Structure 1
Amino acid sequence: MSIWSRISEALSALASGETLASVFDRLRTPPERTVAFAIAVIALGAKMAKADGQVTRDEVTAFREVFQIARDDEAGAAKVFNLARQDVAGFEEYAKRIKVMFGEDEATLNDLLEGLFHIAVADGVYHPNEDIFLSEVATIFGLPEREFNTLRSRFVPDAKPDPYAVLGVTPETPLPEIRKVWRAKVREMHPDRMVARGVPQEAIKLAEKRLTDVNDAWEQIQREAA
């Protein structure tokens, strides 16, 4: 059974009058976390689309890059997106329930926020309202400010990424310590670890860009230190 079939089952279980936000109160056990992750990205992506006032073709394409959606599964993904857009609950309510659902699993929440950044900048414009949206989501998730700044420095095309910000360190951090941080981040991006965190196979592609950015940052820091 594909993840999209499982998502459709989760939506079908909603009782009359329940909103999509109710799904996040149920999908907490490990086998359901991949479904929860996918629904969370779609739902918050839909809320974010309202932040800049439009859904562009590039954003839709970006979403397809995060999740490989077969043509037969497009209706299921669209249903989640539309339910989220039509839901009167604000994105803050979604983010709070998602935070409860994943608990203190900071790595998965970071993965989720990364997917939203990927979608936000897909059209080449990082709207100020998208920045506010993502910053508030990160705060609700309880992610440290440095994690948000690290993601922003990697994705937002308004300046050349700071290699230290990408790794979440400072220029004053000793090189051996930076090496430890770099190695830890590379380990976190191993596909097996991401799957164990509840990230669907369909979204593992998120780690490809992250790994490239992290390795590029480390190489640049080494060159500067030489």
Structure 2
Amino acid sequence: MKLWIGKLLGAVFGYLAGGLLGGFIGLLVGHWFDRALGGGVLGRARRQVATAVFFRSAFVVMGHVCKADGRVTAAEIGAAERVMAHMDLNARQREQAIEFFRAGRDGEADLDEALRQFRRHCRGHVQLVRMFLEIQIQAALADGDLQDAEHEILRRIATALGLSEADFARLESMLGARAAGGGPGAPAGEAELQRAYQTLGVSEDASDAEVKRAWRKLMSEHHPDKLVSQGLPEEMMRLAKERAQEIQAAYDTIKRARGLR
């Protein structure tokens, strides 16, 4: 909702008190009033709505993703439970999350509608959208094997949320590498380095500057405080912090391998 009441009243009363100059000053004062109001009660209310939408959409969509290949495995249920644990849900919230997951799994809650609601309330918050998609990819990878049907529904989700093919491919590759634990047969140190490059979404022949840019971009996207301010439930701070730590650790690994400071 756009805030304009302060600007309108400021301009009107300013004009009545001091003509055009007074109206201009009143408009400026009203603008700052609207900004303060938007960051206060109404700002908090919007964040609460975004949090509620994130919570419901995350588990409804997860149910759809886990059922995409025709069955929901114990590993996928475990992935949903880990997200609940990260969110430190109380008994009532956990029951709600399970109901949302089941509704998605059984097709009782429409996937497209859940995605529309999420995008409408999180419009413009690309970092929040990426975090949402990461949760879904991790759920699909929980059983260690990403089926074609799962890949397609994840791509459908990414498209519906406005992410590019490149962003989706990078996230899928990054999280897939982490789930696989590195290339087959690679020595421990080499496997760790491979995962580090995949985590940052860059190739091994990327320049030092490209690696640094990728690190900075990812750290900005996964900064916990920024995600919370955009509507990520505060209960998921732990997950956001873990992702930021993984990104930092990957960058440190690459720096050591390249002899950078």
Return the TM-score normalized by structure 2: 0.65
2:218 aligned residue (175, 185, 190): 185
Count of residues in correspondence between the two structures: 199
Instruction: State the match for 2:37 in structure 1.
Output: none
Q: Cα offset for 1:171?
A: 5.1
1:1-226 map, 5 Å:
29-67=46-84, 68-87=88-107, 90-156=110-176, 157=179, 160=183, 163-170=196-203, 173-226=206-259
CA contact (8 A) 1:117 1:155 kept: yes
Structure 1 pair 206/149, CA: closer, same or farther in 2 (3 Å)? Answer: farther
Q: Distance in 2 between matches of 1:182 and 1:56?
A: 34
**Aligned structure 1 segments of 4 or more residues deviating by more than 6 angstroms:** none
Q: Which amino acid aligns with 1:197?
A: Q
Q: Which amino acid aligns with 2:101?
A: F
Q: Which amino acid aligns with 2:46?
A: T
Q: Which runs of 5+ in 1 are unaligned?
A: 1-27
CA contact (8 A) 2:62 2:136 kept: yes
> SS of the counterpart of 1:29?
helix
Q: Which amino acid aligns with 2:47?
A: P
CA contact (8 A) 1:115 1:206 kept: no
CA contact (8 A) 2:76 2:142 kept: yes
Q: Which amino acid aligns with 2:96?
A: G
| Range moving further from structure 2, 136-145 or 68-77 | 68-77
Return the TM-score normalized by structure 1: 0.74
| Range moving further from structure 2, 209-218 or 142-151 | 209-218
Which of the two has higher C-alpha Rg? 2
More helix by share: 2
Structure 1 pair 99/202, CA: closer, same or farther in 2 (3 Å)? Answer: same
RMSD in angstroms over aligned alpha carbons?
2.7
Q: Distance in 1 between matches of 2:111 and 2:59?
A: 12
Query: Sequence identity of aligned pairs in percent?
Result: 27
Greater RCO between the two (CA within 8 Å, min separation 6)? 1
Q: Distance in 1 between matches of 2:235 and 2:59?
A: 13
Structure 1 pair 88/189, CA: closer, same or farther in 2 (3 Å)? Answer: closer
Q: Cα offset for 1:140?
A: 1.5
Structure 1 pair 163/144, CA: closer, same or farther in 2 (3 Å)? Answer: farther
Structure 1 pair 202/184, CA: closer, same or farther in 2 (3 Å)? Answer: same
Q: Distance in 2 between matches of 1:154 and 1:83?
A: 29
Q: Cα offset for 1:113?
A: 0.5
Structure 1 pair 146/165, CA: closer, same or farther in 2 (3 Å)? Answer: farther
Q: Cα offset for 1:211?
A: 2.5
> SS of the counterpart of 1:219?
helix
Q: Deviations over 1:116-137 (max 9, x none)?
A: 1121122222222111111111
CA contact (8 A) 1:182 1:218 kept: yes
CA contact (8 A) 2:122 2:231 kept: no
Q: Cα offset for 1:105?
A: 1.5
